[in-house]
Amino acid sequence: MRKIREVLRLRMHLGLSIREVARGAGVSVGVAQKMASRAAAAGLTWPMVEQIDEASLEVRLYGEAARAGDERPRPDPVAMHQELRRTGVTLELLHLEYLECHPSGLQYTAFCDVYRRWRATSGLVMRQTHRAGEKGFVDYSGKRPSYTNSHTGERVEVELFVAVLGASNLTFVEATETQRVPDFIASHVRAYAYFGGVPHVTVPDQLKSAVVRACRYEPGIQRTYAEMARHYGTAIVPARPHKPRDKAKVEVGVQIAQRWILARLRNETFFSLADLNRRIGELREELNSRPMKKLGGATRRELFEKYDRPALRPLPSEPYDVSEWSMERIGPDYHVEIDAHFYSVPYTLVAAKVWVVATSTTIEIIHGGARVATHARSLIRRGHTTTPAHMPEAHRRHAVTVDDQIDWARSVGPNTEAMVRSLIAANPVREMGARSARGLRRVAEQYGHERTELACARAMHFGARSYKSIANILALGREANPLPGEEPEETPGVEHENVRGAGYYH
């Protein structure tokens, strides 16, 4: 047995040739070659050989039957492991089934030892080395805090976000309403601000807010998350799917947050998310100031100041304004819907797919790598924000508002303005009045502003309430005719000796 370990040490650890190994271990070249080949076939490495005992090493190389003095059939530990995953299956049940097939087989204790030895060598854990400022790990807690809605009395469960720096274990904890992208990104922004710097690599889980396409090797990073990473100069390297040990730091950090923060909140009541976070902030500072026994009594804050703070990347001059990217298709009314509000784009993009970048204050629409529209964000549900330049000419003419019509009429003259206001007031439906005003505007385009102003004065005198009256006046050329009562007085006859006068004919 000792020669097996020595052969593998000389071959694997020191890298000697087979002949050198044979001479150093005192075995033949053939034996040394077979031992090295069996170890390679079994997938053994020198660190693994160092950790397992001699009996287990012999089993890994030559099988259970090679153990001296024991020819009894061995159970298959891999098959046992698979069966134990099934509901209600125990080692005792598997041993009974094993004895039914092999009555002279191993007794229960030896049977269990076979499985336990296999488990000891199959669950290897790689120790990670965390350099100062290199990695920050983020995750959400499965256990959630809550607050009470002060208006309804309803209990509202929220999410608990946790971020941990690799070298110092400095921990940031806060509650958010959801795990959606805006809350997820905002938590990162506040975590970086709390740390006073940015780790070179940020390691999240492969949740939807971080990864749009889960993959062990090439995960698809969510667009907004990638934009945030570029802003802060960090790299997003998600943990592999179903590999929580890739982010063991934050897994432990979440567990600590549950024990030292959530557990202390269990008997306290809060009436808003802000109140809850205020209390979490107090407990977070206590946590980061607690001495850690395994590290000689040093606190997370002390280790952070010593290791992580000098190595973190500096914060950018401005914090990231959370922007949510989404791919949308333009509707037939050349508007795109964002959070139940509709924003216009140039009508030529109808049915096209565009990127929408939504921040707390703006909506940007991008097509083909170019920004085609920018709007102030509106919170009016089912409302429309429309830029006239985005509309076809016919739609633009039709969509002129009442105020636009009055402004136009004022530019023509006081009589036209009075006529437009009269048309609008005469219709119980304001939009119908605006349509009459549009009709008057079209007539004015045909006959000119000067004649329209005169026609409106005449129409107002007769109490007209339709743009058609003005159109008729202009068509007949009567706009310049004097109004009743305004006819010029007759001039007196000329007194002269050569003028006979009316009486001459009598």
Per-residue confidence (pLDDT) for residue 277, from 0 to 100: 93
Tell me if 252 sits within 8 A of 163, measured CB to CB: no
Distance CA 195, CA 307 (A): 12
DSSP letters, 404-424, are: HHHHHHHHH-HHHHHHHHHHH
Lowest-confidence region among 214-223, 305-314, 445-454, 483-492: 483-492
The mean pLDDT of the chain is 82
Here the tokens at position 308 are 């992580």
89-103 tens-digit pLDDT: 788 888 998 888 888
164-178 tens-digit pLDDT: 988 888 999 999 999
Both 358 and 249 in a single domain? no
Res. 295 pLDDT band, cuts 50 70 90: low
Is pLDDT of 87 > 70? no
Q: How far is CA 277 from the centre of its chain?
A: 21
Both 266 and 147 in a single domain? yes
Both 147 and 169 in a single domain? yes
Average pLDDT over every residue of 416-429: 80
Q: How many domains does the chain have?
A: 4
Is pLDDT of 377 > 50? yes
Both 167 and 214 in a single domain? yes
Both 178 and 240 in a single domain? yes
Average pLDDT over every residue of 135-139: 89
Both 118 and 71 in a single domain? yes
Is pLDDT of 70 > 70? no
- Note down the domain range covering 153: 135-311
**Identity at 112, one-letter amino acid code:** C
200-239 tens-digit pLDDT: 989 888 888 888 777 766 678 888 888 899 999 998 888 8
Per-residue confidence (pLDDT) for residue 314, from 0 to 100: 93
Residue 201, in any domain of the structure: yes
Strand pairing of 235-236 and 220-221? unpaired
Both 305 and 226 in a single domain? yes
Residue reference for tokens 């256990």: 143
Residue reference for tokens 């204790």: 109
pTM of the entire predicted model: 0.51
140: Cβ contacts below 8 Å, ≥ 6 apart: 159, 160, 161, 162, 179, 205, 207, 254
Q: In 3D, which of 261, 207, 272 has the Cα closest to residue 236?
A: 207
**Identity at 288, one-letter amino acid code:** N
Strand pairing of 235-236 and 201-203? parallel
Distance CA 332, CA 335 (A): 8
Average pLDDT over every residue of 266-282: 91
Residue 338 — φ and ψ, nearest 5°? Answer: -130, 115
